[in-house]
Structure 1
Amino acid sequence: MPFTDHERAYLDAQHIGRLATTGPRGPQTRPVGFKLNTDGTVDIGGIRLSSTRKYRNIRERPDTEVSFIVDDLEPDGPGAIAPGWGRGVEIRGRAETLTDTDPPLAPGAFSREVIRIHPRRIISWNLDPAAPELRGRTA
């Protein structure tokens, strides 16, 4: 499993991230719904996903890596590592497009296409009280 327990707990509690792909006119970043899979891959879904530029960018450039980021501002409260500061996870890796696949969220609303990210590099910050600083590693 490429994710630490703190990263997994954080990602499991989130619902929206931002996916950056590269297209014919350069980089594109879009908000997306996602789910972290037990094998450490990330599935991204959407309404009519195969008609989107992000899906086509990946399908047309299968060897190009993507970046996926999930972050927020940490709320105040017990156990807060850096109240009011950002926390999150960036996942860099290879993405593939899948068809006729159950969507990671909203079955019946999301289409049966999925973007699956295979992590290569993981960077996280302000998630682990024992190591709150920016931490990057190869997955």
Structure 2
Amino acid sequence: MIFTETEREYLKTLALGRLATIGPAGAPQNHPVTYFVNDDGTIDIGGPALSRSQKYRNIQADPRASLVVDDTASEPVGPGGQRGRGIEIRGDVEVLLADVPLLDGFSNDVVRIHPRRVVAWNLDGPGANNRDV
């Protein structure tokens, strides 16, 4: 299992994450994205004209990426009254052509993250839960 039940539920409650890819000069590039968690633990990302985007070209050149989904809880969830919580998913990414777009207005192009490392904080209790998957 890639995600704990709490992590999976957390990911399902939010729709916006930030995808970091490696740009042509080797520097990270961060992009806001909509994501979908699949039953097998992979994560699909789409968008309008995705194949024409820099993030798509970055992934084709170097298929490593990181997706961060986080928010601020309404009540303290971490040590010292911290309200920040979230999850970072690092992995290898493949480009796919879906039969149908993930959402209306999206192209059929999809990037799929295959998680290799999960770093979660203040989701399954105070502190961090870091692991290779």
Task: Please tell me whether residue 113 in structure 1 is matched to residue 114 in structure 2.
Answer: no
Amino acid at match of 1:21: T
> Structure 1's 58 and 101: CA in aligned 2 closer, same or farther, altered over 3 A?
farther
TM-score by length of 2: 0.91
Aligned CA RMSD, in angstroms, stands at 1.5
Q: Tell me, what secondary structure is at the counterpart of 2:11?
A: helix
Q: Which residue of 1 aligns with 2:69?
A: 70
Moved over 6 A (4+): none
CA deviation digits over 1:8-56, x for unaligned, max 9? 0000111000000001132100000001110000000111100000011
Paired residues in the alignment total 130
Q: Which residue of 1 aligns with 2:11?
A: 11
Whole-angstrom distance in 1 between the partners of 2:84 and 2:99: 34
Task: Please tell me whether residue 42 in structure 1 is matched to residue 36 in structure 2.
Answer: no
Identical-pair percentage: 48
Q: Tell me, what secondary structure is at the counterpart of 1:3?
A: coil
Amino acid at match of 1:9: E
Q: 1:1-139 maps to which residues of 2 (within 5 A)?
A: 1-25=1-25, 26-62=27-63, 65-76=64-75, 81-82=77-78, 85-104=83-102, 106=103, 108-129=104-125, 132-139=126-133
Mind listing any 5+ residue stretches in structure 1 that lack a counterpart?
none
Whole-angstrom distance in 1 between the partners of 2:10 and 2:62: 30
Q: Tell me, what secondary structure is at the counterpart of 1:2?
A: coil
